Chains A and B, each alone.
Chain A
Amino acid sequence: MLRWLKVNARSSRMATDSTLLLGLVEEFVSGQQDTKATETAKGVKTGQFTVLQLVEALGLSLTSSQQETRARGVKLLSQVLQECYSYLNEREVEVLVAFYENRLKDHYVIIPPVLQGLKALTKSSALPPGSAVSILKSVFQDTHVQSLMIQERSCVYNILMNLMESREQELKGLGSDFVFGFVQSMDGERDPRNLLLSFQIAGNIIAHGYEMGKFTEELFEVTSCYFPIDFTPPPNDPHGITQEDLILSLRAVLTGTPLFAEFLMPLIIEKLDSDVQSAKVDSLQTLAACGPVYGHKELAQFLSGLWSSLRREVFQTASERVETAALSALSALTACLSRSVISSDSDDSLHTLLDLVLKDCQHHLLEPDLKLVWPSAKILQAVGGASYRACLRVGSAVVPLLLEQYINRTQSAQRRTLLEVLQGFIQPTEASRPAEGEENVLLPFQSSLCGVVFSALSESGAGLQTTATRILTALGQQSGVLTPPDVDLAVDHLTTLILQEDDPQVSGAVVECCGSLAPLHPSAFTSRMVPKLKEHIFTEPMVQGNGPSPDELGSQNAVRQRCVTALARVACEPSLVQESTPVLLQVLTAAHTGGGSFSVDEVISVCHSLQRIAEHAPHMEAEIGQFFHDVIIPRLLGLALQAAVQDEGPCGRSPLVEEAVLSAVAPVISSCCSRLNADCAKLSASRAVSLFLNGDVAFLPNNNLPTNTQLLKTPSPQVSQLVCLLTASVCSLPRSVEIPEIDRLLKDLEEVSCTHTHSFTHTFAAKCYAGLINKRPNGPALDAVLERSMKRVSVELDNSASCLRTQALTLLLWVTKALLLRYHPLSTTLTDKLFSLLSDRALGPLVADGFSLLMSDSSDVLNRSCHADVRIMYRQRFFSENSAKLVQGFNSAPPEEKAGYLKALSHIMNNLPREVQMTELPALLPLFLEALSCPDVGVQLSTLSCLQPVLLDPPSALTNQLESLIPRVLTLTTSRAMKVRITSLRCVHSLSRLPDHMLLPFRARVLRALAAPLDDKKRLVRKEAVLARGEWFLLGSPGR
């Protein structure tokens, strides 16, 4: 062969520098300079010389009688081929393959480079037909894979992988010999990297349908001997292979084909007996993975063996992981059996399994006091949830049984357990849902089921009622299970529960149930529930003697509260919205006129309910949106205005002048306005503006209001505070809506925000101003407005004698926020202004806290649901632009001003996304550690709450600083502020999840330090101390 190569090389010799090549070869082979291989490969790639010339140059080395020299020669060739295999043509490959195959028979020191060369050649697309088979035959014949070193074994596997990828058809021509060869090669492999490769090959053999023939069992044996995988990665994990990687790739092999079933099932049954929990879990998960692949044929003979193992795992385990895995395996088996087509001569294996399960589990349901009732119920539910057929069988056996038990038992605890078990059988799973044309499993028991549920609803136990309500919710969602009379009855029961049941858990479940049933049966709710609730809301408390006692009044309020919540929850459909919102509005009107003695809290909760309706109603743009726009908003504005302008009535102040109430009315308006369609939005904007600028009250209902009041120019706080409703009306509209008279509006708002002495008023005016500015398009108009206002703010702030500095600062903060959200260039200047104010004696603390306002989401304006212009990642941008300034400011500030910088910094950090915190923290860590020692409680708290989430998965910069971090945090566990003590203890708790070796040096010190907070005077602190200390005790201790 060499001679042929030489001839070819000579004939194709061109004007190349053959001395250079010879030199390279010489230096590699004799000079042992490994780097020369790269240079040679580079020469081949650039066309300086060809592979054939290289072979010629290697001539003497390849035929040398010294095996070391031959090995060196082959190594050079193989390394060059590794880089240049794509430059070869078919003829060259053919010759090289023949050469390498021949070399496989050579001395063992030559084998490693030979395999490398073959690996390179198998990657070539010019591999001639027949070569794949011949390479494999030679490799299988002439090498004993397991006596090779790790890397050479890896080479062999890679050769197989490469050929399977490109020459599948040829390899399949080998028949089962290919599988046999592979089995022999991998038999005894122990290296995790090579195992991953060989599992992958085995998986491909199965997945691509290579013929296994009589070697099926051999292939199973050679892979299953690793099951269950027991592998602990070496310390510092150089290869990055986890036990999980190996488990998953082996599982793919073992469960890849039904042909393995007869071997795998006995193996799994055997391994389930293992004492090692992870082995059990692996076996169970492997079993579950067989479900989708197998049919009943494969499983039939193992069913009773599998069942008794699975039953034991659920009945007797102390581990939830094992239990969960066993239940999923059971469910997968059931699904598999349900899917299979039954042949006429065999029994239905699904029924065989279900018979076994029912026989062993059903009777435990008759003992609701004992522990096994739950595992049995879980098993039956897992099985029943696997398919419609299984559900039909299990349901028809279990549901009547449970219903009968419920009726026969009288103890409330037993009934409760039975009902909770029953609940698990009511809601069909994705897999067990009846298909088109199949009957609902519960239909035959429909009436007795409803009977039990209704009887439980009228019992006294909160647990029973809650569970029954949940069952009702599940029943209502399945079509046809509740008949119309049942629905009516259900609504009546729910109404009664709302009016009478004060347990929070029950009312929660009842309200949920109403919410889920109402859209399905709106008429039952409009006719039966809404009128009753309304009646109760407006029923005056029974006056006996000297009026109601505080207790009665309290319970009356609680009933009203539940009615209001329920009304809000059912209003999820146009007809119900139109029924229930007028009731809520009527409450507000009554509260305003003093009838019905509604407290401020009740009024607020009514507003929250209206807000909920506005936020959750579907199709807001259509019917409901129109309704809110036409009726609700004008009524709300009208009421608020009336309350503001009227004098104190005989019943005292109207609740609608309270700031808290107005703050609750505003979100109703804003969440509605943000969802209006274009026409309504436009109309809404012009109405609001002309109301506030010109006192135009024409659109308000029951119009006996003074006209032409300039609301924004009234000094009375009671009137001026209505600006919060203006904010809600104009700041939440879509950006495309043009606000009429915007310049005049902005001017007035600026005036109010800079001069009004009422804090609520000037703050909302500032918010409104900012909300509008944020949406205004760029251009000279915006620039002019901003310039004027900021100049005014500046003048005010620079005048340290002014009494309006707080107002100016508030406006500055909100405008800065509005601009930095949209990346407006002016925001930088304004931010710098804020930084300079950090050292202001009077305003410094306010400014530091203002950074929290800048960085956090504001709930009423300038957020995305108000359609504000918010760029993504504005926080990161702000941080990267300003963190250096803050650090610098901190370093140069006198000690008494440092706290402000730390506070500002911790506000900014606290609001950054966690990934960013992780990357930014290292640079700022010294500052953070400093902040922990800062005497200001606010700074401590804010720093700790920023650190705590980071500590759950800390970057290495932090773990290197444990020596300074831990003592500082421990000091704070005895701080005078309770919140600091709690948060610092949580930090200590989070720290306990770091790797043991980092923490053990501190364990004794931490345990000693945590003894003090165990005796804290506050229970909440003691709780955190107990939790943290418990975890630190477990560190480095067995059984953790």
Chain B
Amino acid sequence: MENPEGVSVKHNVIDLNSATNRMAGGTSLENANPLIFQRSGERLLTATDEDDDITDPIDDREIFDPYLIRNINDPEHPLSLEELNVVEQVRVNVNEQENGVSVEFTPTIPHCSMATLIGLSIKVKLLRSLPDRFKIDVHITPGAHASEEAVNKQLADKERVAAALENAQLLEVVNQCLTSKSV
């Protein structure tokens, strides 16, 4: 009765426990003093944006826009994924015709145990925010993490993602990452 799905969920729980334990404050963070990066500016409004007759295609920049992925909160720091350079616009790729979106993310250190959680947050945000015609692919920037393959495999597996979101604790952390601060 070995069920591979069960194992994966369990793995997520372990991830989460180590994460929540550290966030409790007693122990120090894995990477207490990460590099930080400038936020990019807002997209300027143009006349065509207001014109109801023109169709605006979904582009890389839009996926990166603040209401989508770049303002997702980091689970550990009071910083956005953009400020930690975990997501960058050049690592976002949209193919409007073939309905594909691919996002690469770069954990701040190669052993970051938050990688799955961050990936899951990005994936969930995109699932909630993009039309369902898109196939969403979220994976680690090649070479940026020790267990890259394992994490990518988890993120690519629909059922595992769904199962992970059944876990209330995990969902809570994901939701915290997706809660907008400016409200």
Q: Which residues of A contact B (CB under 8 A)?
A: 273-275, 280, 312-313, 315-320, 323, 364, 367, 369-374, 413, 416, 463, 976-978, 1011, 1014-1015, 1017-1020, 1022-1023, 1026-1027, 1029-1031, 1033-1034, 1037-1040
Add 4 more A-B contacts to A316-B28, A318-B74, A370-B34 (CB < 8 A).
Answer: A315-B32, A316-B29, A1022-B58, A1040-B175
B91 within 8 A of A: no
**A316 near B25 (CB under 8 angstroms)?**
yes
- The smallest beta-carbon distance between A379 and chain B, in angstroms, is 14
**B55 near A1017 (CB under 8 angstroms)?**
yes
- The smallest beta-carbon distance between A396 and chain B, in angstroms, is 26
B108-140: CB near A (< 8 Å → 1, else 0) gives 000000000000000001001111110000000
B165-179: CB near A (< 8 Å → 1, else 0) gives 000110111111011
Closest 3 CB pairs of A and B: A1039-B172, A1039-B175, A1015-B131
**B33 near A372 (CB under 8 angstroms)?**
yes
Given contacts A1023-B67, A1037-B175, contact A1014 B130 (CB under 8 A): yes
How many angstroms between the C-alpha atoms of A318 and B79 in the bound complex? 8
**A1015 near B78 (CB under 8 angstroms)?**
no
- For B36, give its contact among A312, A316, A370, A1018 (CB under 8 Å): A370
**A372 near B52 (CB under 8 angstroms)?**
no
**B131 near A369 (CB under 8 angstroms)?**
no
Given contacts A371-B36, A1018-B49, A1022-B62, contact A1039 B174 (CB under 8 A): yes
How many angstroms between the C-alpha atoms of A317 and B22 in the bound complex? 11
Which chain B residue lies CB-closest to A463?
B38
Which chain B residue lies CB-closest to A1027?
B67
Given contacts A275-B24, A312-B25, A316-B25, contact A371 B178 (CB under 8 A): no
- The smallest beta-carbon distance between B78 and chain A, in angstroms, is 5
Given contacts A318-B75, A371-B35, contact A1017 B28 (CB under 8 A): no
- The smallest beta-carbon distance between A323 and chain B, in angstroms, is 7
**B35 near A370 (CB under 8 angstroms)?**
yes
Which chain B residue lies CB-closest to A1018?
B56
Interface centre among B28, B33, B179 (most CB of A within 10 A): B33
**B62 near A1020 (CB under 8 angstroms)?**
no
Measured between beta carbons, the chain A residues less than 8 angstroms from B132 are: 1011
- The smallest beta-carbon distance between A293 and chain B, in angstroms, is 27
**A1034 near B168 (CB under 8 angstroms)?**
no
**B128 near A1029 (CB under 8 angstroms)?**
yes
How many angstroms between the C-alpha atoms of A369 and B34 in the bound complex? 8
User: Mind listing 11 A-B residue pairs with CB under 8 Å?
Assistant: A320-B181, A367-B33, A370-B33, A371-B36, A413-B38, A1023-B67, A1027-B180, A1030-B128, A1038-B172, A1038-B175, A1039-B179
- The smallest beta-carbon distance between B30 and chain A, in angstroms, is 11
Which chain B residue lies CB-closest to A1013?
B131
Measured between beta carbons, the chain B residues less than 8 angstroms from A1029 are: 128-129
**B25 near A1011 (CB under 8 angstroms)?**
no
**A318 near B178 (CB under 8 angstroms)?**
no
Given contacts A370-B34, A1029-B129, A1030-B178, contact A1037 B52 (CB under 8 A): no
Measured between beta carbons, the chain B residues less than 8 angstroms from A1011 are: 131-132
**A1023 near B65 (CB under 8 angstroms)?**
yes
Which applies to chain B's interface (DSSP): helix, strand, loop or mixed? loop
Measured between beta carbons, the chain B residues less than 8 angstroms from A413 are: 38
How many angstroms between the C-alpha atoms of A239 and B125 in the bound complex? 41
B26 within 8 A of A: yes
Which applies to chain A's interface (DSSP): helix, strand, loop or mixed? helix
B7 within 8 A of A: no
**A1030 near B78 (CB under 8 angstroms)?**
no
Measured between beta carbons, the chain A residues less than 8 angstroms from B11 are: none
B14-47: CB near A (< 8 Å → 1, else 0) gives 0000000001111011001111101000000000
Measured between beta carbons, the chain B residues less than 8 angstroms from A1034 are: 175, 178-179
Measured between beta carbons, the chain A residues less than 8 angstroms from B175 are: 1034, 1037-1040
B78-95: CB near A (< 8 Å → 1, else 0) gives 110000000000000000
Which chain A residue lies CB-closest to B133?
A1015
How many angstroms between the C-alpha atoms of A315 and B35 in the bound complex? 14
How many angstroms between the C-alpha atoms of A406 and B104 in the bound complex? 34
- For A1039, give its contact among B36, B55, B171 (CB under 8 Å): B171
**B178 near A1020 (CB under 8 angstroms)?**
no
- The smallest beta-carbon distance between B43 and chain A, in angstroms, is 8
Measured between beta carbons, the chain A residues less than 8 angstroms from B181 are: 320
- For B78, give its contact among A320, A364, A1018, A1026 (CB under 8 Å): A320
Given contacts A1023-B65, A1023-B67, A1038-B175, contact A1014 B131 (CB under 8 A): yes
B68 within 8 A of A: yes
How many angstroms between the C-alpha atoms of A371 and B79 in the bound complex? 9
How many angstroms between the C-alpha atoms of A273 and B24 in the bound complex? 9
Measured between beta carbons, the chain A residues less than 8 angstroms from B65 are: 1023
Which chain A residue lies CB-closest to B49?
A1020
- The smallest beta-carbon distance between A292 and chain B, in angstroms, is 28
How many angstroms between the C-alpha atoms of A185 and B62 in the bound complex? 64
- For B180, give its contact among A274, A317, A370, A1030 (CB under 8 Å): A1030
**B38 near A1014 (CB under 8 angstroms)?**
no
Interface centre among A320, A367, A370 (most CB of B within 10 A): A370
Measured between beta carbons, the chain A residues less than 8 angstroms from B153 are: none
**A275 near B25 (CB under 8 angstroms)?**
yes
Measured between beta carbons, the chain B residues less than 8 angstroms from A275 are: 24-26
- The smallest beta-carbon distance between B131 and chain A, in angstroms, is 4
**A318 near B180 (CB under 8 angstroms)?**
no
B77 within 8 A of A: yes
How many angstroms between the C-alpha atoms of A572 and B32 in the bound complex? 49
Given contacts A1039-B171, A1039-B179, A1040-B175, contact A317 B78 (CB under 8 A): yes
**A1026 near B129 (CB under 8 angstroms)?**
yes
Measured between beta carbons, the chain A residues less than 8 angstroms from B62 are: 1019, 1022
Measured between beta carbons, the chain A residues less than 8 angstroms from B128 are: 1026, 1029-1030, 1033
How many angstroms between the C-alpha atoms of A1031 and B180 in the bound complex? 9
B48-60: CB near A (< 8 Å → 1, else 0) gives 0110100110100
Measured between beta carbons, the chain A residues less than 8 angstroms from B148 are: none
- For B176, give its contact among A316, A320, A1039 (CB under 8 Å): A1039
Given contacts A369-B35, A370-B35, A371-B77, contact A1017 B171 (CB under 8 A): no
How many angstroms between the C-alpha atoms of A374 and B173 in the bound complex? 25
- The smallest beta-carbon distance between A187 and chain B, in angstroms, is 32
Measured between beta carbons, the chain B residues less than 8 angstroms from A1014 are: 129-131
Which chain A residue lies CB-closest to B174?
A1039
How many angstroms between the C-alpha atoms of A992 and B61 in the bound complex? 27
Measured between beta carbons, the chain A residues less than 8 angstroms from B73 are: 318
- The smallest beta-carbon distance between B67 and chain A, in angstroms, is 5
Measured between beta carbons, the chain A residues less than 8 angstroms from B77 are: 318, 371
How many angstroms between the C-alpha atoms of A361 and B85 in the bound complex? 24
Measured between beta carbons, the chain A residues less than 8 angstroms from B55 are: 1017-1018
Which chain A residue lies CB-closest to B76?
A318
Measured between beta carbons, the chain A residues less than 8 angstroms from B67 are: 1023, 1026-1027, 1030
Measured between beta carbons, the chain A residues less than 8 angstroms from B130 are: 1014
**B173 near A1039 (CB under 8 angstroms)?**
yes
How many angstroms between the C-alpha atoms of A317 and B32 in the bound complex? 10
Which chain A residue lies CB-closest to B168?
A1038
How many angstroms between the C-alpha atoms of A1026 and B78 in the bound complex? 23
**A273 near B38 (CB under 8 angstroms)?**
no
How many angstroms between the C-alpha atoms of A300 and B150 in the bound complex? 53
Given contacts A978-B52, A1018-B49, A1019-B62, contact A1038 B171 (CB under 8 A): yes
**B56 near A1017 (CB under 8 angstroms)?**
yes
**B74 near A977 (CB under 8 angstroms)?**
no
Measured between beta carbons, the chain A residues less than 8 angstroms from B56 are: 1017-1019
How many angstroms between the C-alpha atoms of A587 and B100 in the bound complex? 55
**B25 near A273 (CB under 8 angstroms)?**
yes
- The smallest beta-carbon distance between A704 and chain B, in angstroms, is 43
**A371 near B33 (CB under 8 angstroms)?**
yes
**B168 near A371 (CB under 8 angstroms)?**
no
How many angstroms between the C-alpha atoms of A1014 and B175 in the bound complex? 20
Which chain B residue lies CB-closest to A272?
B25
Measured between beta carbons, the chain A residues less than 8 angstroms from B176 are: 1039
- The smallest beta-carbon distance between B37 and chain A, in angstroms, is 8
